[in-house]
């Protein structure tokens, strides 16, 4: 590289976005992800001793996946190569492999290969890489925003250590922004910029754990803020708000965020926290989730987690689903919110859910299911000659519309699928055993006992 090229490269570096300029160069500069690369972690020791094995970094944008790859590139004595799966193909992989072979043959040096967006490689491209990772010719560093266990070749995953990177905490983002404001070499220190606490909090909330978004928003706010008489700039809340666009919800309708969010939604309703459930509902609606998917989950939840404790819950959830189907969005958000609030506040019982599962389990194990003669149907030809229905006692012919008789398959002793702690179980099981106590009605109580039993 001559002097002109070096100067051009330096100028290009200075003109790069703040998030690129402030990218950590060493492990000590990495903010957050302490459980992955903090002092004493196995990955940090492997990087510091240059004994890294193949790894896959997985997490939302702006959590440090590419940053860690660049830190490793600076720390390793191995040859470092990188590919982007969006723009690379099998030919690029083969070129890197040939160079790795030459490096090993001539200098005995390993090759570390970083592949950004590795989930974008198709099956053939991933298969082309596999043998060389398996033999150790290349040490793979993969970065992906998608779940590698579903989007990356299982053989590659099995030969790699997967590290999940979480969104940065507010205190981590604050450290990054304050560092950028004071760094005169790579940051904004030369601009003598000050940011009010309110503006800083606003930028941190906007970033939602994404370091790149936080730094880009800070840079835009500083560069668009009016210059004061002393040549410095001050970013207040109004300036910060003007510099950021409406926050986009991190969500993927077919990936982990989809499943994690609906899980949090269901568990909030089950746990009777209506306000948390409404927030998760808002996240899904804002992200464009299929409203009928949400409505169907509410119907299932009404039957599974409330059921006998409040028999009105299921028809209300079904009505909400039909309303959403009939009126569409955005108005459909209202019946969805109504159903969510009602189900969250309703008493809870999983008695019916548990009962049918246990009964199905016994059927699957081969429980005899022969219908006894007195319970058999009489509406088909020859039924009377076969003795069907003989001996059946019609409950409405007896006082209280109840009479003791066996309703179980031949040779099967009565079971108790509705447990003792379920208020509905007493009358049902007593009827089966011939005891008429409690048959006047079924009063279904609520659900703290059920929640404690499930450990949720």
Distances (CA, A) of 310 to 320, 393, 430: 16, 32, 22
C-alpha distance across the termini of the chain, in Å: 63
CA 119, 121, 124, 130 dihedral sign is negative
Domain 170-243 has CATH 1.10.8.60: yes
- Cis before 330? omega within 30: yes
Q: With contact defined as beta carbons under 8 Å apart, do 52 and 163 qualify?
A: no
Percent of the chain whose predicted confidence (pLDDT) is above 90: 45
Q: Are 56 and 163 in contact (CB under 8 A)?
A: yes
Q: Is 195 helix (H, G, I), strand (E, B) or coil?
A: strand
Query: Which pLDDT score, from 0 to 100, does residue 443 have?
Result: 33
Query: CA–CA separation, 139 vs 104, rounded Å?
Result: 13
Mean pLDDT check: name the lowest of 6-10, 43-47, 122-126, 211-215: 6-10
Q: What is the pLDDT of residues 104-116, one digit of tens each?
A: 989 888 899 999 9
pLDDT band at 250 (very low <50, low <70, confident <90, very high): low
Return the structure tokens found at 261. Answer: 């969010």
Whether the Cβ atoms of residue 243 and residue 221 lie closer than 8 Å to each other: yes
pLDDT of residue 432: 39
Which has the closest alpha carbon to 93: 104, 103, 82, 108?
A: 82
Structure tokens at 247: 């926050």
Distance CA 158, CA 170 (A): 34
DSSP reduced 3-state for 234: strand
Q: How many CB atoms lie within 10 A of CB 23?
A: 19
Instruction: Measure Cα distances from 174 to 205, 320, 321 in Å.
Output: 10, 43, 43
Question: Alpha-carbon distance 175 to 171, whole Å?
Answer: 6
Residue in 208, 200, 290, 218 with CA at minimum distance from that of residue 247: 208
Handedness of CA 113, 119, 121, 126 (dihedral sign): positive
Q: Which residues pair with 143 in a beta bridge?
A: 57, 116
Q: Determine the CATH number of domain 256-345.
A: 1.20.272.10
Could you tell me which residue, 426 or 46, shows the higher pLDDT? 46
Q: Is the pTM of this model over 0.85?
A: no
Ordered by start, the domain boundaries in the chain are 33-164, 170-243, 256-345, 355-451
Q: In CATH, what number does 33-164 get?
A: 3.40.50.300
Residue 442 has pLDDT above 70, yes or no: no
Tens digits of per-residue pLDDT, 251-308? 666 677 888 899 999 999 999 999 999 999 999 998 888 999 999 999 999 999 999 9
Task: Give residue-wise pLDDT tens across range 310-341.
Answer: 999 999 999 999 999 999 998 999 999 999 99
Report the length, in residues, of the chain.
456
The pLDDT score that the predictor gives to residue 245 is: 67
**What's phi and psi for 51, nearest 5 deg?**
-125, 35
Name the strands in the sheet holding 138-144, side by side, starting at the edge strand that comes first in the sequence.
79-84, 111-116, 138-144, 55-58, 161-164
Identify the band that residue 123 occupies on the pLDDT scale cut at 50, 70 and 90. confident
| Extended beta strands in 107-257, E state | 111-116, 138-144, 161-164, 193-195, 233-235
């Amino acid at each position: 590289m001559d002097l002109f090229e070096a100067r051009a490269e330096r100028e290009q570096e200075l003109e790069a976005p703040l998030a690129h300029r402030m990218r950590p160069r060493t492990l000590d500069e990495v903010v957050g992800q302490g459980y992955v690369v903090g002092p004493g972690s196995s990955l940090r020791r492997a990087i510091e001793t240059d004994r890294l094995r193949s790894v896959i970094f997985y997490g939302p944008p702006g959590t440090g996946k590419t940053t860690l790859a660049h830190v490793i590139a600076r720390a390793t004595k191995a040859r470092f190569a990188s590919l982007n799966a969006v723009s690379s193909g099998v030919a690029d992989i083969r070129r890197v492999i040939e160079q790795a072979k030459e490096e090993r043959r001539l200098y005995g040096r390993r090759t570390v290969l970083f592949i950004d967006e590795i989930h974008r490689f198709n099956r053939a491209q991933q298969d082309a890489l596999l043998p060389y990772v398996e033999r150790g010719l290349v040490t793979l560093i993969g970065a992906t925003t998608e779940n590698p266990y579903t989007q990356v070749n299982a053989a590659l995953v099995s030969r790699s250590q997967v590290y999940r990177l979480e969104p940065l905490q507010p205190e981590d983002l604050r450290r990054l922004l304050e560092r950028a404001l004071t760094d005169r070499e790579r940051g904004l220190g030369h601009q003598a910029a000050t940011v009010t606490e309110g503006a800083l909090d606003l930028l941190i909330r906007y970033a939602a754990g994404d370091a790149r978004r936080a730094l880009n928003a800070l840079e835009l706010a500083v560069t668009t803020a009016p210059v004061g008489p002393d040549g410095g700039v001050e970013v207040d809340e109004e300036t910060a708000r003007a510099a950021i666009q409406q926050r986009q919800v991190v969500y993927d309708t077919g990936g982990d965020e989809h499943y994690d969010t609906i899980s949090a939604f269901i568990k909030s309703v089950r746990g009777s926290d209506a306000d948390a459930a409404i927030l998760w509902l808002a996240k899904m609606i804002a992200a464009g989730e299929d409203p009928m998917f949400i409505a169907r989950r509410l119907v299932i939840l009404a039957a599974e987690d409330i059921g006998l404790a409040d028999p009105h819950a299921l028809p209300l959830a079904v009505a909400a689903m039909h309303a959403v189907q009939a009126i569409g969005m955005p108005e459909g958000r209202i019946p969805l919110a109504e159903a969510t609030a009602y189900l969250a506040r309703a008493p809870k019982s999983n008695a019916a859910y548990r009962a049918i599962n246990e009964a199905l389990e016994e059927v699957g194990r081969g429980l005899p299911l022969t219908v006894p003669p007195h319970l058999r149907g009489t509406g088909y030809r020859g039924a009377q000659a076969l003795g069907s229905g003989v001996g059946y006692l019609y409950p409405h012919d007896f006082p209280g519309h109840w009479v003791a008789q066996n309703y179980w398959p031949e040779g099967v002793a009565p079971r108790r699928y509705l447990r003792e702690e379920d208020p509905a179980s007493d009358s049902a099981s007593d009827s089966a055993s011939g005891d008429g106590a409690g048959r006047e009605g079924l009063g279904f109580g609520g659900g703290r006992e059920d929640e404690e039993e499930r450990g949720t």
